[in-house]
């Protein structure tokens, strides 16, 4: 069996809000099912390998995003091609913004995105901070913590990840959160996101396995602790 390859994009500059938790969750939920997997870290200036099955990009500091935005331009075609051909992708917070059309930051002006997602984002003067609960058609309730000054809007056709039950989501008014395009998800949810939303984690793993050309049925796992952590998260103010 060929190991499932996770590409972690820019871990040095884009993983400041507990985003490693997403990598940990992806790996462990494969490990517990005996599915071999490896992580390849790709930093500024290196190339994304052609045999990637899943790409993850987290959030960073504004300064880090400037450099990442420049570097992403050289990777744009490859990432889009990857998603068009069924690759699984998760982008959180700053990563979500930079995979859209553009992000206008407070201190560094307009940062070009790669245009994978039909979104535009703009920094605002107030931060959207707090526990968030989202209702998704595909995944049911999603829980997490958001912390962003960027306000995001859809441009053209876009499928939201879900609608906001508690918290802000994309922006203070729309009551929509995140985006799904093919097998790619963009979201503002930290928490970390995947450990507390195992349905999303398993969905991404399933898509990554398919991308690798293998067929493995995902065995159900006991998600008792996940359920408890979810319900205590939902109960917090």
Active site residues: 93, 190
One of 3, 16, 101, 104 touching another protein (CB under 8 A): 16
Give me the sheet containing 4-9, strands edge to edge: 37-42, 4-9, 54-57, 88-92, 184-187, 179-181
The DSSP symbol for 50 reads T
Cβ–Cβ < 8 Å for 53, 36: no
Shortest reach from residue 132's CB to another protein, in Å: 11
Stretch that binds another protein, among 49-57, 78-86, 124-132, 160-168 (CB under 8 A): 124-132
CA 195 to chain centre: 13
Burial class (CB in 10 A: 0-12, 13-18, 19+), 215: exposed
73 binds another protein (CB under 8 A): no
In the bound state with another protein, the residue whose beta carbon lies nearer, of 83 and 93, is 93
Cα separation, 107 vs 85, in Å, equals: 36
Shortest reach from residue 86's CB to another protein, in Å: 27
In the bound state with another protein, the residue whose beta carbon lies nearer, of 27 and 122, is 27
147 binds another protein (CB under 8 A): yes
One of 3, 20, 78, 118 touching another protein (CB under 8 A): 20
CA 128 to chain centre: 18
61 binds another protein (CB under 8 A): yes
232 binds another protein (CB under 8 A): yes
């Amino acid at each position: 069996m060929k190991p499932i390859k996770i590409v972690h994009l820019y871990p040095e500059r884009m993983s400041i809000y507990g985003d490693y938790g997403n990598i940990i969750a992806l790996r462990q939920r494969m490990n517990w099912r005996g599915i071999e997997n490896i992580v390849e870290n790709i930093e500024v200036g290196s190339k994304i390998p052609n045999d990637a099955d899943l790409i993850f990009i987290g959030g960073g500091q504004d300064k880090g995003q400037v450099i990442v935005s420049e570097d992403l331009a050289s990777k744009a075609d490859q990432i889009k091609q990857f998603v068009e051909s069924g690759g699984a992708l998760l982008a959180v917070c700053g990563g979500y913004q930079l995979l859209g059309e553009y992000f206008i930051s407070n201190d560094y002006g307009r940062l070009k995105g790669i245009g994978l997602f039909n979104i535009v984002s703009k920094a605002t003067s107030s931060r959207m901070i707090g526990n968030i609960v989202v209702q998704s058609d595909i995944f049911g309730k999603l829980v997490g913590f958001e912390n962003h000054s960027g306000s995001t809007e859809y441009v053209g056709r876009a499928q939201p990840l879900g609608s906001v039950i508690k918290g802000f989501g994309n922006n203070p008014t729309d009551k929509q959160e995140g985006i799904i395009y093919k097998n790619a998800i963009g979201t503002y949810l930290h928490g970390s996101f995947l450990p507390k939303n195992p349905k999303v984690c398993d969905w991404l793993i399933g898509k990554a396995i398919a991308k690798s050309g293998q067929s493995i049925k995902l065995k159900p796992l006991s998600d008792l602790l996940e359920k408890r952590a979810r319900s205590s998260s939902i109960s917090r103010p």
